[in-house]
Structure 1
């Protein structure tokens, strides 16, 4: 007797699954299952005991009167379904925020009924998205958001700013700009770094900002000790918030740069020799801490410092979070109202800033509200450049050397000659010893200058590289002073 007649259970399971679920694959080949008419998709290979497709398939078969099936039948049926799904069209899955049709974006509220927020330049509303338009992927980090309130007249923004201890109005508008950026699936946003004195409520303020997007279950976490665990945490949620940072190791700093602007990791799949697993990620990131020490220039361009001050009146945790939970639907509704206005506003795109998308968003926010968020963003980058220079003796020495160049003048030397000149300038007549971490070869100096190039350019020192027939060189120049536009007196 054929095997399929001996064990028809796998056919029963396969027929039931194909009748009640839609199966598709993503670009990396992962097969997902989506209940008919519902926007949430689950990977069929998930072995989780809570919310896995295997579990929901077993529950559906039992409730519909098909009985209970053993693991072998389920495995054989899912193997067949996975093989069939690999020939289906490719569709992406999204966590929390997704692009939609006709220029719309979607915000997953994390609800069991699949209700989400559709944000369009003409307004926003609550509905269940078409599975062909949006497929949500949920993890244990996906919290539930309350239904936002309509027509708040900006009341929620005022409530949020009253609950947080932002030091200045410029800090407040930058925080609002970042929240709006978090609702855009294609807008890289800089990482807010909440700073301030001890007791300023940095962790509390960070939780409030995160929970507007991630729900009341969203929280801060300690920075993982290695990059692999950090990437796993980032890939499982939308906003990643790291609390109480006191030091940024070079590897962690580089990983944060990748998280903000996007990157991909590839590693060997478990229990295989040749298969690999790809993980693409670009997520909003939030940091808190009093001081992280020296900030590397590439990370400084991706940070958004938000300074807080100590509150004059202290409140209990229970009282504070009860008020926040009550205000959250209004806060979310006001944020969505403002997001619609900002996306409809027209503004020029600043072309001189690294995070041009966020700078454009700030310009749109200013056009829609009259805030000075773009000027505040520029000022914050200037402050971060000062921090980079104050923590880097090489940058200070280069600026000291360039101060001796006339405006419009340039100087070319090999990297070894530059190392000798800058080391001599730092040591001075006293021949003081070079500090730890000072470049030891011309190649190391060249690499350090490449990292410092944007910071030095912001201070009027241009560094460039070139080659002659004889050797490579590094060029340092000071641009000429801009011409004076003062009107000469008429006689």
Structure 2
């Protein structure tokens, strides 16, 4: 028994989040002690343990999580002759040494290291009289100083820096490759000769051949031989070593590993051991993705993407000391893709924004994978969220939020917005951070020189910064969906018009829908593209004409910028970057308020996009606005926008002319004849070209025309066709 070892040391380990157990000698007091790895006991249980086992030895449990993908493990070296080899292979004997942390008992030493979670405990057996090295992982424990060794009666001693004081990130890392090399080395009959330091030439040549065959690099072979030879060795083996290695390689000892099939299989195993985690996209079940250890469990990459290929090439170079060919690399990637699709778990995959009406995660774009989590309690910075994010082409980072209390009002002044347009801006910003659709569309109009493009660029930098800040509105629906795959917030610049097909697919992008196209190189397979995204379009005017798109919009009309009020782009960007952290802090606070109140808020039913409007309504007071102020700003802007557009429509102008002296009542065909007469006097391509097209256009535009004072009533059908009645409010008549 030690004098108060457990009582004195256990609280220190618990404070560092290390689970420990009381021991009798080297044996845990309690059965089922492995369960303590799940967490630290509560304060009451801690007091009980300290009172009951104050003089017991103390054992630290291994397998404690260190970061996202590494755990604390140990190499228990029970032969002093193998300690130098172990330190050398781990890089602890070099000038750029890692932190050495361990302990010593009767013989040898135990060295603490980091390892992938996938590694299991194993015994590395020595041959020809050498001792063993126990690799201790999760489910094992080790006796800690100042416990008393049961054989010597003396306390265990710290080697290097105590585990309680060491920076865990500075501990050396061990991989499956290290273990393989240790097994190859000390399991060889030649290792004992090198340890003795006598007659080492033949044994050294033979051991080098064994290591080359095992795939060791030149540097690893040099570390191993330097670790085996005694400190007082005075022979020539290390000087002759480069020649031995060259000879072994020239003789083809490593050729058995050059087979492409063998290389691809080895690479797959190596990637999985190094914590690459394949999975499949829940929404697109034919897409496999992976997470990589250096960016954490939340950042996902498509298996065949350039970052994954580069990571695999670097992994091969680091592990094997040589490049891998294109064919085995592609075979390995195809195998990893199959593992993800058929054996991997299924996760939803997000771009920039994830979550639901309870909590939201925002990918800041940081290399360390840290993200913003917003809940009803506020916003926090998190490292290990469960959401999976992809980062599209040109993805850029957001700054960390920093509250100052005036960020959003500074933004209003910076953009020169009146209160009406400021509320519309707030509406779209909140809308764009809604993790699930549907979404309002931002339509920005203004004459040349009103700053439309810059206004949209500012919004893009607040929500989803990217190198592609301004996109051209595509001509084809499949091109639009490909852009939606890459970006969370799409910004289409300088639109001048759009086809009916593109207007319809934009509505689908905002509210949910997709397209099915023929899969490349096939005749009978379809590839479905379906995404829901917030987006914005800017242009001078008139680029949106169809009511379906108008009624899903938040329209903003910007006034022209005075000639004396212009600044350089560099000046504007510097000012924006300075205020951006405070803008984000206040905006995220508004989102937190929306999460708190969403379930209590009634959807504004006078707007077509009631679900999207409900989210904005829930955030209003968190943004410093009165209840209903932002919603009413949207309704007023929509009504004014729709009326302006409808009054400019050629069909509406024709209907006003026809009904100037009273309502029209009759068949659609008769109405078409009247419109055709107007067309003869003043040709206009915007007028319908057949009775059926006229009927369809009246159906589609009827709600919007009602807002402009043109009423369309359908009176039923008979054998002559569809009967209608059209009336209009008195307005000045357009001239044809």
Q: TM-score, normalised by structure 2?
A: 0.57
The C-alpha deviation readout for 1:322-356, integer Å capped at 9, x for no partner, is 11112211111111012212332343212232222
Are 2:437 and 2:512, in contact at CA under 8 Å, matched by a contact in 1?
no
The alpha-carbon distance between structure 1 residues 165 and 92, as it changes in their structure 2 partners (threshold 3 A), is same
Give yes or no for contact 2:647–2:708 (8 Å, CA) kept in 1. no
Residue 35 in structure 1 maps to residue 292 in structure 2: yes
Q: Residues 390 and 460 of structure 1: is their aligned pair in 2 closer, same or farther, counting only changes over 3 Å?
A: closer
Q: Indicate which of 44, 50, 56 corresponds to 2:311.
A: 56
5+ residue gaps, structure 2, are 1-255, 729-736
Q: Is the counterpart of residue 126 in structure 1 residue 381 in structure 2?
A: yes
Whole-angstrom distance in 2 between the partners of 1:461 and 1:273: 48
Question: What does residue 595 of structure 2 align with?
Answer: 343
Q: Alpha carbons of 1:143 and 1:370: their partners in 2 closer, same or farther (altered >3 Å)? A: same
- The structural deviation recorded for 1:64 is 3.8
Which residue of 2 is the match for residue 415 of structure 1? 668
| Residue 516 of structure 2: aligned partner | 266
Range 355-364 or range 119-128, more displaced: 355-364
Contact 1:220–1:242 under 8 Å retained in 2: yes
Q: Quick check: 1:294–1:392 contact (8 Å CA) kept in 2?
A: no
Distance 1:403 1:344, change over 3 A: farther
Does structure 2 conserve the Cα–Cα contact (< 8 Å) formed by 1:211 and 1:218? no
Q: Is the 8 A contact 1:268 1:275 kept in 2?
A: yes
> Matches of 1:81 and 1:293 in 2, distance apart?
46
Deviation of 1:365 after TM superposition, in Å, equals 3.9
| Residue 487 of structure 1: aligned partner | none
Instruction: Provide the residue aligned with 1:331 in structure 2.
Output: 583
C-alpha separation in 1, matches of 2:462 and 2:588: 11
2:159 is the counterpart of 1:159: no
Q: How many Å apart are 1:258 and its aligned residue? A: 2.8
**Structure 1 residue 477 displacement after superposition:** 7.2
Residues in 2 aligned to 1:4 and 1:448: alpha-carbon distance in whole angstroms: 70
The match for 1:23 is 278
Q: Deviations over 1:101-120 (max 9, x none)?
A: x8211111111111111121
The 1:293/1:468 distance shift into structure 2, 3 A limit, reads closer
Q: Equivalences for 1:78-93 in 2 at 5 Å?
A: 78-87=333-342, 88-93=344-349
* Alpha-carbon distance in 1 for matches of 2:532, 2:369: 24
- Gap regions ≥5 residues in structure 1: 480-491
Deviation at 1:12, TM superposition (A): 1.4
Give the corresponding residue for 1:486: none
CA contact (8 A) 2:278 2:340 kept: yes
How many angstroms apart in 2 are the aligned matches of 1:334 and 1:114? 23
Residues 58-83 of structure 1 deviation map (CA, whole Å, 9 limit, x = unaligned): 21232245643222222222333322
Compared CA separation, residues 433 and 308, structure 1 to 2 (3 A): closer
- State the alpha-carbon separation in 1 of the partners of residues 488 and 466 from structure 2: 14
Q: Distance in 1 between matches of 2:447 and 2:669?
A: 43
Query: In the TM superposition, what whole-angstrom CA distance separates every residue of 1:389-447 from its partner, at most 9, and x where no partner exists?
Result: 222132234456678779xxxx87442134245657x58xxx84563332333211111
Q: Which residue does the alignment assign to 2:432?
A: 182
Determine the C-alpha separation between the residues in 2 that align with 1:91 and 1:216.
25
SS at match of 1:184: coil
The Cα offsets for residues 297-340 of structure 1, whole Å up to 9 and x where unpaired, read as: 22211222212231553222222211111221111111101221
Residue in 2 aligned with 1:483?
A: none
Structure 1: how far apart are the matches of 2:661 and 2:265?
82
CA shift, 1:243, in A, is 1.6
Structure 1 Cα separation of the partners of residues 382 and 314 of structure 2 = 26
Q: CA deviation at 1:123?
A: 1.3
User: Does 2:621 align with 1:370?
Assistant: no
Distance 2:421 2:303 in 1: 45
| Whole-angstrom CA distance in 1 between matches of 2:424 and 2:438 | 15
Distance 1:452 1:203 in 2: 30
Question: What secondary structure does 2:536 align onto?
Answer: strand
Cα shift readout 1:12-60 (whole Å, capped 9, x = no counterpart): 11112222211111233111111254211111123x3xx2x12212212
The answer to whether the 8 A contact 2:519-2:526 is kept is yes
Give the RMSD, CA atoms, in angstroms: 3.0
Deviations 1:119-170 (A, max 9, x none): 212211111243xx31111122321111111x433x110121121122x211
451, 459, 472: which one aligns with 1:222: 472
Compute the displacement of 1:468 (Å).
5.1
Q: Deviations over 1:253-285 (max 9, x none)?
A: 334323322321222333334443322122221
Alpha-carbon separation, structure 1, partners of 2:451 and 2:548: 28
Which residue is 1:148 aligned to? 401
CA distance in 2, matches of 1:195, 1:477: 31
The alpha-carbon distance between structure 1 residues 376 and 184, as it changes in their structure 2 partners (threshold 3 A), is same
Query: Is the partner of 1:417 in helix, strand or coil?
Result: helix
Judge conservation of contact 2:437–2:532 (CA < 8 Å) in 1.
Answer: no
Aligned equivalents of 1:5, 1:396: Cα separation in 2:
77
**Aligned in 2, Cα 1:337/1:62: closer, same or farther, shift over 3 Å?**
same
Residues 39 and 474 of structure 1: is their aligned pair in 2 closer, same or farther, counting only changes over 3 Å? Answer: farther
Corresponding residue to 2:390 among 137, 142, 147: 137
Q: TM-score, normalised by structure 1?
A: 0.84
Q: Identify which range, 64-73 or 107-116, moves more after superposition.
A: 64-73
Query: Aligned to 1:86, what secondary structure does the other structure show?
Result: helix
Match of 2:692 in 1: 443
Matched-pair contact (CA < 8 Å) for 2:285–2:341: no
The equivalences for 1:395-474 within 5 A come to: 395-398=652-655, 413-420=666-673, 432-433=681-682, 435-459=684-708, 463=712, 470=719, 473-474=722-723
Structure with higher Rg: it is 2
Counterpart contact for 1:106–1:118, Cα < 8 Å: yes
Q: Is the CA contact 2:352–2:488 (under 8 Å) kept in the aligned structure 1?
A: yes
CA contact (8 A) 1:258 1:282 kept: yes
C-alpha separation in 2, matches of 1:253 and 1:44: 34
